[in-house]
Amino acid sequence: MPYVNIQITEGATREQKAQLVKDATDSLVRVLGKKPDHIHVVLQEIAEENWGFEGLLTDEWKKRRSS
From the list 46, 45, 4, 2, the residue with the least C-alpha distance to 21 is 4
User: What domains appear along the chain, each with residue ranges and CATH number?
Assistant: 3-66 (3.30.429.10)
In this structure, how many other beta carbons lie within 10 angstroms of the beta carbon of residue 37? 7
Q: Rounded to an integer, what distance in angstroms lies between the CA atom of residue 16 and that of residue 51? A: 20
| Sequence-separated contacts (24+) of 27-32 with Cβ below 8 Å | 28/2, 28/4, 32/2
Q: Rounded to an integer, what distance in angstroms lies between the CA atom of residue 53 and that of residue 31? A: 31
Over residues 10-65, the pLDDT tens digits come to: 999 999 999 999 999 999 999 999 999 999 999 999 999 999 989 999 999 999 99
- φ, ψ for residue 54 (rounded to 5)? 50, 35
**Model confidence, pTM:** 0.84
Q: Model confidence at 67, in pLDDT bands (50, 70, 90)? A: confident
